[in-house]
Amino acid sequence: MTASLSGQVVLVTGSTRGIGRASAEAAAALGATVAVHGRDLSQVEAVCGELGTDSVFPLAADFDDPDNAAGLVDQVVDRCGRIDGLVNNAGGGRPVALRGLDLDSWRATQRVNLEATFAASRAAYKVMRKARSGSIVNVASLAAHGPGAWMGADYAASKAGMVSLTRSLALEAARFGVRCNAVSPGFIETDMTVELTDDQRQRLRVPLGRLGSPAEVAACVTFLLSSESSYVTGQVLHVNGGLSMYG
């Protein structure tokens, strides 16, 4: 099987680095027109230039205001006349113990990770529903399926919310030909893991014995965007080197 996104229009949020950038690059390589997103327009434009293809274009928005995520979808539709795929990848967090969290920090994490995902998904779903086709992929986390041992309770809760949102939207959207799935990466070689020491990496006990690459997650994202996964919806694809086997 060979996945293709030829003729498709895809928005990848948070796509100037890491998993988002790899997903944007992979989608473009499969023939999609891809909207690359970040907070700073000059940085997004630089990334688009580095990708070396005419099939990407830059968009900037700060998801600290979740309404901007919906506006981003509207910009894609205004420019391209459609949106066929949405990858909700934008997000972040930092390892803070629950006793060190305050309500403002909690809410900030939910705004960027969960509320922006809801806002973008809702806007895209309205367009996809009319077209009776489309695929939404939410980038969750291993943390969504257990305690926030590494990234904190705010991050884990936001990603668990993304998984729940995925399933709720998948059920509602299925009769309109719109699919919604999630990928839950484990420990991936990104900015969030670069500071892990060799000792910490060993203590992770990843069955495959290494951290994953952004490209490996992107391959799963593009599979879920493509027609190769046309009978898959409401699912969570774990990309964690086997860590989820521990429960």
Q: Does residue 247 fall inside a structural domain? A: no
Q: What are the residue ranges in the chain where pLDDT is below 70?
A: 1-2, 148-149, 191-203, 247
> Which CATH number characterizes residue 175's domain?
3.40.50.720
Q: Does residue 167 fall inside a structural domain? A: yes
pLDDT for 149: 62
pLDDT for 2: 65
Q: Does residue 24 fall inside a structural domain? A: yes
pLDDT for 193: 59
Q: Does residue 181 fall inside a structural domain? A: yes
- Rounded Cα distance between 85 and 87, Å, is 7
Q: Does residue 162 fall inside a structural domain? A: yes
User: How many domains does the structure of the chain reveal?
Assistant: 1
Q: Which domain holds residue 230?
A: 9-239
Strand 85-88 and strand 9-12: the pairing is parallel
Q: Does residue 244 fall inside a structural domain? A: no
Q: Does residue 4 fall inside a structural domain? A: no
125, 155, 231, 246: which is the annotated catalytic residue?
Answer: 155
Q: Does residue 3 fall inside a structural domain? A: no
| Residue in 34, 2, 42, 32 with CA at minimum distance from that of residue 15 | 34
Tokens of 14: 């948070």
- Rounded Cα distance between 44 and 3, Å, is 26
pTM: 0.93
- Rounded Cα distance between 123 and 74, Å, is 7
Contact between 15 and 47 (Cβ < 8 Å): yes
Active site residue 155: yes
Report the chain's mean pLDDT, rounded to a whole number.
92
